[in-house]
Amino acid sequence: MFELGILAAILVVAILYSSVGHGGASGYLAIMALFAVDPALTKPTAFMLNVFVASIGTWQFYKARYFSWRIFLPFAATSIPFSFIGNMISIPIPVYKVLLGIVLILAAVRLAWKLTAPDGKAAFPPIWIALIIGAVIGLLSGLVGVGGGIFLTPVLLLMRWSETKVAAGVSAMFILVNSIAGLAGNPRQVLVLPSHVWFWVLAAILGGLIGSTLGTKKFDSLTLRRVLSGVLFFAGIKLLLI
């Protein structure tokens, strides 16, 4: 029942996150926190699941022409090296739990909040601002084990730098490159992952295929995402209190 519960939860998380161009790392981290998975395994596992789901989302949104290299490149230019560096930094487990708890609560707020692009034509972000934001998100991504899309998407939409679907496509590739960079920052973590993690990967891939297909079409998953946000919020509070 334990393993089936995790598989089902990962499938649902992958569907809901990939529908808005995200890899789902914060959701996977919340699941692993709730199921008391060894903290040493959570970050590399989340990165790995992210790589597969974000790859699918990147392809689906790019194929549907919901992507902009001009928006993506300045953010990715600094996020990639900083994600690499972030995962090389070893932080104490208690500090990691607090940092992760805060990230999960922020992710819960993001999922519960329906964000769409404001009216009016989107303007491209100033390069120097994009470089700074990319570096900050990349470092946080590497430290915690997320791809950073949960932070990039709101920035793109609230600053009117992208319309909604393009923001999802840009975030999908942003998550992909950051997750790869994060894994590259400490590849030995992958070698210690238990074999059953590959069943989690299969569940994530299936969810990513379903969610990204729905996301490129007319699909409003707000109610379901709000339910998921409650789970993330509970997991975040649990990490902060225990």
- Which pLDDT tens digit goes with each residue over 11-37? 988 988 888 778 888 889 888 988 888
- What pLDDT score does 17 carry? 84
- Per-residue pLDDT, 62: 93
pLDDT of residue 219: 62
Confidence check: pLDDT of 154 > 70: yes
Give the confidence band of 205 by pLDDT, cuts at 50, 70, 90: very high
pLDDT band at 3 (very low <50, low <70, confident <90, very high): confident
Q: What pTM was computed for the model? A: 0.86
What's the chain's average pLDDT?
86
Residue % of the chain over a pLDDT of 70: 90
Place of tokens 């491209």: 124
Give tens-digit pLDDT for 158-188. 888 988 888 889 999 999 999 999 999 888 8
Q: pLDDT tens digits for 35-71?
A: 888 877 888 899 999 999 999 989 988 998 999 999 9
The answer for residues whose C-beta is within 8 angstroms of residue 207's C-beta and 6 or more apart is: 10, 11, 12, 13, 14, 15, 18, 24, 53
What is the token pair recorded at 80?
């990639």
pLDDT on residue 191: 78
Tokens found for residue 38: 């060894």
| Other beta carbons within 10 Å of 8 | 12
Please report the pLDDT score of residue 179 as a whole number.
94
Residue 119 has pLDDT above 60, yes or no: no
